[in-house]
Amino acid sequence: MLQEPIVFPYYEFSGTYREIGRQYGEACRDQMKHMIDWWYENLAPIMPDTPVAKMVEASAAFGEPIKEYAEDLYDELVGIAEGSGLSMNEVLFLQGSFELDVAGPFYLGGCTSYAASGKATKYGQTIAGQHFDWYTKSDNVIMRVKPDKGYGFLGITLAGQLCQFGISEAGVGHFANVLGYPKCQVGVPTVVVAQNVLRQKNLPDAIRAITQAKNAVSVNHMMADKDGAIIDVEATPVKCGIVLPDRDILTHSNHFLTHYLQPDDLGDQTSFPDTFLRQYRLKQLMEDHRGEITVETMMEVMGDHRGYPDSICRHMDMTGPAWERFETTMAMVSLPGEGKMYISSRPCDGGGYKLYTI
């Protein structure tokens, strides 16, 4: 029996970043409070001796690095606290939950991202997106943000976090995947870097927003713009690597492609060695459609089930330990040059994609 796709709640926020945060907090107050418990429930199996109060207290350490990196985004977090009624440390806990996770004894990841442009696509458009593979029953929200200064953006994230995935008014698209690297540090959480990328006027500035951050953990940033440029930044707390497309096609999952970062890659030591298969399989499928890739093509290939349940379209494997039980919860196909983003909670069995515009 097919499950009905979830229609994620959609919000529009505008004003100063403090005002945007306050609007976000007020609109999603209940979802944010639920996500405090949700994160603790999912972190508890990998951090069994750490109560939620300790996790929240530890998250205070993210405050100063965020403020030093992007003070206006820190102001947005202050606004979230004001609007939601959460404490500032609870808001920081929501931003840094991935970092608490990845820095723990297990590395978790499953997302698969892609971009294509130029001669690889049927109409010469830039097409980019990803699957977000994570635990179920999270509160996911779509937001269209119009700040007083700078570029607006459209994207999706987990309730309470800054925007992770999306497209901007400048025609920049940003998507991300977790990477396994042996070093982490108290630094800037991934979601803060991601939203900062979406505020930049072009890809060079977007790259700078990643490489000049004090990255707390290792994350892959897949980016593409309206003019057909595609670039991938594999960011670690130590250094960054750059991956360029192969004839206008680029795919990524949860292992390093930059040769000088590969010796320290924890990909083959994780619970998810399927990362290698997913990245190669997606590239193969896109190559099969070279010159004919459209939005509909990507909706179709991202529903691929080779290697099920650990496939591009991931499904929950109940035979493994609790911390491995996640699945594709968001699917995204975007046209950064046209300000369009298609989002689904169920990328297979018909997809259920809904169009949002910037």
- pLDDT recorded at residue 53: 94
In a domain, 2, yes or no: no
Of 102, 123, 151, which residue constitutes the final position of a domain? 102
Residue 69 and residue 205 in one domain: no
pLDDT score, position 4: 62
Nearest to 306, CA basis, from 108, 112, 137, 107: 112
**Where is the domain boundary, 83, 102, 121?**
102
Listed range (2-6, 168-172, 296-300, 323-327) with the worst mean pLDDT: 2-6
Asked if 155 and 165 count as a contact pair (C-beta separation under 8 A), the reply is yes
Tell me which of 59, 80, 102 is where a domain ends. Answer: 102
Domain, as residue range, for 67: 10-102
Tell me whether residue 333 is in a domain: yes
Nearest alpha carbon to residue 328 among 193, 164, 132, 154: 132
Q: Are residues 30 and 128 in the same domain?
A: no
Question: Which CATH number characterizes residue 157's domain?
Answer: 3.60.60.10
The answer on 199 and 135 residing in a single domain is yes
Residue range 306-335: average pLDDT?
A: 84
pLDDT at site 299: 96
Q: pLDDT tens-digit profile of 13-64?
A: 999 999 999 999 999 999 999 999 999 988 888 788 889 999 999 999 999 9
Q: What is the mean pLDDT of the chain?
A: 92
Q: What is the C-alpha to C-alpha distance for residues 191 and 186, in angstroms, rounded to an integer?
A: 14
Cα–Cα distance between 187 and 65 in angstroms, integer? 5
CB atoms within 10 A of CB 205: 14
Q: 81 with 158, same domain?
A: no
* Domain assignment present for 233: yes
Identify whether 1 is part of a domain. Answer: no
Q: How many separate domains does the chain show?
A: 2
pTM of the predicted structure, to 2 decimals: 0.94
Question: What φ, ψ does residue 260 adopt, rounded to 5°?
Answer: -80, -10
Which residue has tokens 């496939």? 311
At 70-113, the pLDDT tens digits run 999 999 999 999 999 999 999 999 999 988 865 554 445 679 99
200, 349: one domain: yes
Per the domain annotation, does 14 fall within a domain? yes
